[in-house]
Amino acid sequence: MKFKSLAALLSAGILAAGSFISASADTTPMTMKELDKSYLTLVFDDNITASLKTFYEIITLEYGYPICAAVPSGSLKGDNALLHDIENHGGEILSHTKSHKVFNRAVEWSVVEAEMKDSLNELTAAGFDVKGIILAGGGGTEDTDLEYRTEIEKITSKYYLYSDLYGASEQYYKPRDYLRFTFNNNPEIAFRSVRELAKTPQWKVWFAHNTSELNEKTLRSMLDEIKKQEKEGKLEVVTYRTMYTKNADWKKPVDLGTTKYTVDFYSTDNKTLLYSAVVNEGSSATAPQIETSKGVTFKKWSGSFSNVTKNMSVYAICDNVKTSDPSAVGLKHDHLFFASGKTQTCELCGLVTPVTKPNSPSTVTSAPTSSTSSTSPTSSSSIQSTNSSDLSVSSNEALTLDNTTSTTDETSSDSLSANNPTTQNSGGKKVGLILTTILAAVSVLGAATFLIIKKRKK
């Protein structure tokens, strides 16, 4: 099933307020359609002030245009009537983090997520239908740091459908222009800016904080020109929500209705992560298959991971183990040994065991090509040096698979026979016999040729 617009997603009940997807999920591949005209979104940031009331009364009540208010949820008070009026008159309330926190690399990811999540929950609890978030601090996500923006988008997409500078994709990175710098409180610059915007179909977001940045005279000059361009069909004032409903091209549905959580399984040192399971809310995680080092007995996991309702961590509890030992517990696996001398070490878990000679086709052994196996057939001594001992495990290093690895697959029979000592021995004899015959023939041919040439010279 495909949803072509945000409206379809909303009507389908997929975009339930407060729900989110896993951070590991891919960002929705949203792109903007080709615009038929220019669109303008007006955003006013920060606390609920007299300036916001002035903007609302002039822009919405007098001129009839919707506005967006980006509100830090920590600034909410008992009476949020103004914000509800804005929303009820076609405007939109967006998150502005909880405490107006400016995000950058110095801020821990747990703080970033808490600010986003708490803000959404608090605004939702206050009765607002919040779908987007606006950056606090005007650029703290480090615009040029694409790697950081990509990482922050993973968190943003868990809680919000769109944002301005909280990501790398088009859906979560919509730049906005500061009205104070655009107009400098100059009415002439204001209406010229609107006229320029209307020339070519595009989407712009303009924002301000208070009437000292955008006074009433400049504001009305801007709105008068907007009205003129609107009548000519060149410009429309919209909220973020309307823009994404009308002009976003959604390539696939966004499943924000299913909450997902992560259950992390750790070793006995409480630091070494063994496995992460992502499950739907209310479902149970499946514990990984584990194995313990010699003398250690696994007892249980530290907590229940059935009916998961939050991100959680559980730890392996074992007998006869020091809690500081990260190797006491590991994921069950087929050992991949690398032999050196008389011992072999598993590349996956570090287990060290004595080297054992292969005694059946169930043990696969591969070795670097021996120098003696590549000698050219120039003498019988070089041929005889190619024997079974040269083709088995190298005396210095060899890569081996543990006996626990199945080797009965018919498709690998050739490689198995090539590494089987018995097969190697008989194969070596056959090769030696063939090469000896060839050398004998070459010698006879050479002698005959020599005699013919000698006779002709006579």
Distance, CA of 390 to CA of 382 (rounded, Å): 12
Mean pLDDT of the 163-190 span = 84
Distance, CA of 370 to CA of 384 (rounded, Å): 14
Report the DSSP beta bridge partners of residue 41: 205
Output the average pLDDT for the chain.
Answer: 73
**Residue 388: which of 420, 356, 414 has the closest Cα?**
420
Report the DSSP beta bridge partners of residue 366: 399
Mean pLDDT of the 155-163 span = 90
Residue 334 has pLDDT above 70, yes or no: no
Of 221 and 148, which is predicted with more confidence?
A: 221
pLDDT in tens, 118-153: 999 999 999 999 999 998 876 555 566 788 888 888
Residue 357: its pLDDT value, please? 63
Distance, CA of 135 to CA of 129 (rounded, Å): 18
Mean pLDDT of the 244-249 span = 86
Helices and strands in the chain: count of H runs, count of E runs: 13, 21
Q: Where in the chain is the domain with CATH 3.20.20.370?
A: 6-250
Of 179 and 113, which is predicted with more confidence?
A: 113
pLDDT in tens, 404-431: 333 334 333 333 333 444 444 445 555 5
Residue 366 has pLDDT above 50, yes or no: no
Residue 3: its pLDDT value, please? 33
User: Which ranges of 233-304 does DSSP label H, i.e. alpha helix?
Assistant: 240-247
Distance, CA of 432 to CA of 434 (rounded, Å): 6
The mean-pLDDT minimum among 77-91, 175-189, 318-332 falls in: 318-332
3-state secondary structure of 111: helix
**Residue 131: which of 116, 152, 148, 109 has the closest Cα?**
116
Range from 21-25, 223-227, 351-355, 451-455 that averages highest in pLDDT: 223-227
Residue 50 has pLDDT above 60, yes or no: yes
Residue 12: its pLDDT value, please? 35
Distance, CA of 414 to CA of 424 (rounded, Å): 12
Residue 287 has pLDDT above 80, yes or no: yes
Of 2.60.40.10, 3.40.50.620, 2.60.40.4270, 3.40.50.970, the CATH number of 260-331 is 2.60.40.4270
Residue 153: its pLDDT value, please? 87
Q: Where in the chain is the domain with CATH 2.60.40.4270?
A: 260-331
Superfamily classification of domain 6-250:
Glycoside hydrolase/deacetylase (3.20.20.370)
DSSP state of 445: H
Give the confidence band of 93 by pLDDT, cuts at 50, 70, 90: very high
Of 432 and 67, which is predicted with more confidence?
A: 67
The DSSP line for 198-238 is HHS--EEEEEESSTTTS-HHHHHHHHHHHHHHHHTTSEEE-
